[in-house]
A and B are shown apart, each in its own frame.
Chain A
């Protein structure tokens, strides 16, 4: 880092941001319960951004350009790269903004990585039966160390752990075998929680084995489990300053957003999240913020640059978020005929239009008397169009960096059989 800072000084670069990031990782790949391959990693990069103030007549503009540098670059290469950055930054004529200055320090900048052996033990204990087996799993353990400095005196460090457990469970009978895919991401291993989630996948696998084609279309559609995250991501994107500045969103403070009584807030720290970053990429402290309360927009979120562009009060970046409980329990949602989809091939929401859709891998259809597992067909709709009838569940569920209602109930959704 010192070598880069020296060259910046020598080349009279007055404004810059330099991020030193090192990632340590260990990875294990299993087929059934047997280890197929393992990997380790240590990779270090510097991310350098150079800023240039450009004067045109009486107006000021700010240009910037960024590059990724290997830790081992020789001095000559570094000098050439920085010269090129200076030139590139002078070509980029964007609205003027000030670089952020040092502010209060984060209370917590280091999170423990946890005990990976507990996960190995848990997977070894996966109970296999005639019906259910573990097909394969991959386990990733990462520790990221970050050091950010800028020309205004910001000098902060933090580290955060991240884990990913991707697993595939099979269920079979005499006629066929099916699989359920699960991708769990978390900060530190919490074995009790992981066991609960894997237990749910086991049940889903058995249900999918019995699933039949959907034949009737009910009025009520319930989207549950992690699929709901895609809908809440749409609302988060509507409130981000970069999307507001770029006119993808037209939401304003005071507008109503989301279903009746919607409450959405962001926070820098959430227990067991893999996104617990103390500072944003500019080295500014990440702060808690209420974005929407009682359905009304209170704040927007985003980087320092865009709040400056938009001449609005300083905003914060969001790593983790919470949505408040809704008005109906899941049991109440399920009291009348419904189709509840718990597994899609891939449930996706288009962040510009709000169009959502997904192929049904596992759903439950209740005709008023009995519930059957169904598979096949698809649902599609639009967040804005379907918002008036949208109801969130009272029960909450945590998924890595988010705590959100377990289920969303919708009406007037397109279903293709």
Chain B
């Protein structure tokens, strides 16, 4: 077992960060600093080449947030100077910004009042294996062996990509009343297989993710075989016949629906801007009484689990929908202060270089009581939906778009072997959620993707749930 700690680089800076915060507090109404040190490796093996490089999200830097006259200003930087010099630099940046505002005669939005709670906490974790326990050449050799197995398995294999990301995240947060640090590791292994036959090309990918070290590679071969099998099956797929059908959503599709429907739909910075219909539906029924939906950095151990968010608020478990009733949203700090609610530990940044917004963490439907086989047996004609390609939220109008890799036909309760691909699921969110009539008894989460706010601000999230039976419009 290997202990994953907050990096020494950050821990050694915490005293100096405190000095800087004290200095800033003498001029500003409130000040805080987040230090972020993310170090990871990406191993990638393809049919024609191999690469071993730093993880694209690697970073090391700081963001200072100050509050003056009820308004936040932030400065992101990655060249640490003495606290005196940093103080002067931040003051200069702030004053330049004030000058721009004055020249442009900009009006300010509602003031924010500070609301500090004393917290001193830290979190570190263990994994089974890190790159200190396993040689890099052994990792590459295992991935190359799997690639060669896939290539040899079928002449129709045109391309294989196997990616391993192993990422160590360290964060430290200091304000006048908070001193927090954390270290954690997540890993993901993704296998994509592309097959070509008589001019037709199809692709499928499978992944394993979690708060793990290199033990994630134990899942590589199984995922690879499954990706190959599914990609080959797609070669015989047919175009979807548009219509409204009974569907059984696999856990990854349940997760996609949770994420796009009432994940984005309850981000409370959207409440402040009046961009989310959910604001007016708290306490009202928005889903079938079988539906309970949760978001949180704490309840599940997946890629978006942490002790504290990027604003120094502790992660928690937030029940979004309870028995079909919309309960509450997820919030960053500024939105909570303006709405008179409590931050839920969902203030997240793409990196120390970007602004914090209200963002999801691990978002999922809770389990029900049905057995998957009974759910399939209950469908006269419909589809089993599998494989996430992408999704898009629409919190203002409660539309939903889910692009799904495949729909497996069900006739009289049995899978026929016919596959339709690709599939686009659309509709009105409450109609879709109210149509949920069966919920299986086991929850699975997956964290292979990233979540954007509109078309930017990408953060790591996981989502999932049980199998769900619903009625959906497919195209």
Contacts and interface: CB of A to CB of B under 8 A. Distances in A.
Contacts of A31: 109, 272-273
Given A168-B275, A309-B49, A346-B392, A380 B72 contact: no
Interface string B46-81: 111111111000111100000000011111111110
A353 B202 contact: yes
A35 B71 contact: yes
A30 B108 CA distance: 9
A248 B74 CA distance: 43
A135 B47 contact: no
A34 B202 contact: no
Contact of B274 (A33, A88, A135, A166): A135
Interface in A301-358: 309, 344-346, 348, 350, 352-353, 355, 357-358
Nearest to B56: A68
A38 B80 CA distance: 21
Interface string B396-412: 11011101000000000
Contact of A357 (B58, B100, B399, B403): B403
Contacts of B473: 377-378, 416
A136 B269 CA distance: 11
B128 interface: no
B454 interface: yes
Interface in A65-96: 65-68, 70-72, 87-89, 91-95
B76 A357 contact: no
B78 A71 contact: yes
Given A34-B109, A72-B80, A309-B48, A380 B104 contact: no
Q: How large is the interface on A (under 10, 10 to 19, 20 to 34, 35 or more residues)?
A: 35 or more
Nearest to B50: A92
Candidate in A87, A88, A345, A380 with the most chain B CB atoms within 10 angstroms: A345
A379 interface: yes
A358 B391 CA distance: 10
Contact of B52 (A65, A352, A353): A65
B49 A95 contact: yes
Contacts of A376: 399, 426
B375 interface: no
A281 to B, nearest CB: 13
A72 B37 CA distance: 14
A92 B48 contact: no
B172 interface: no
Nearest to A71: B79
A178 interface: yes
B136 interface: yes
B392 A359 contact: yes
Interface string B239-259: 110110000000000000000
A-side interface mostly: strand
Contacts of B240: 380, 414
B353 A38 contact: no
B229 interface: no
Interface stretch (A1-9, A40-48, A364-372): A40-48
Contacts of B80: 72
A378 B426 CA distance: 7
A247 B79 CA distance: 42
| Most central of B52, B105, B455 by chain A CB within 10 Å | B52
A416 B424 contact: yes
B355 A117 contact: no
Interface string B73-114: 111111110000000000001001100110111111110000
A183 B392 contact: no
Interface in A84-120: 87-89, 91-95, 116-117, 120
Nearest to A353: B201
A70 B96 contact: no
Given A248-B159, A379-B475, A34 B108 contact: yes
A352 B239 contact: no
Nearest to A183: B455
Contacts of B58: 67-68
A125 B47 CA distance: 56
A181 interface: yes
A348 B79 CA distance: 39
B194 A247 contact: yes
A40 B273 contact: no
Given A87-B136, A377-B475, A41 B77 contact: yes
B75 A40 contact: yes
A393 B58 CA distance: 43
B422 interface: yes
A92 B456 CA distance: 33
B24 to A, nearest CB: 15
Contacts of A121: 104
B53 A35 contact: no
Given A34-B109, A91-B140, A357 B422 contact: yes
Contacts of A148: none
B334 interface: yes
Given A92-B51, A117-B104, A350-B389, A37 B475 contact: no
A189 B202 CA distance: 42
Contacts of A145: none
B137 interface: yes
B415 interface: no
A210 interface: no
A378 B240 CA distance: 12
B475 A416 contact: yes
A207 interface: no
A36 interface: yes
Interface string B171-199: 00000000000000000000000101000
Interface in B103-151: 103-110, 136-137, 140
Contacts of B201: 248, 352-353
26 contacts: A26-B97, A35-B106, A36-B108, A40-B93, A41-B75, A41-B77, A43-B76, A67-B53, A68-B54, A70-B61, A88-B52, A116-B100, A135-B275, A166-B454, A179-B396, A183-B456, A245-B49, A309-B48, A309-B49, A344-B401, A346-B392, A350-B203, A377-B475, A378-B242, A380-B475, A414-B242
Given A45-B78, A94-B49, A246-B48, 16 more contacts: A25-B353, A26-B97, A29-B355, A39-B75, A39-B355, A44-B79, A67-B54, A71-B79, A92-B140, A120-B106, A135-B274, A166-B456, A309-B48, A345-B392, A346-B390, A352-B194
Closest 6 pairs between A and B when the two form their complex, measured CB to CB: A416-B475, A416-B242, A346-B392, A359-B401, A34-B109, A345-B401
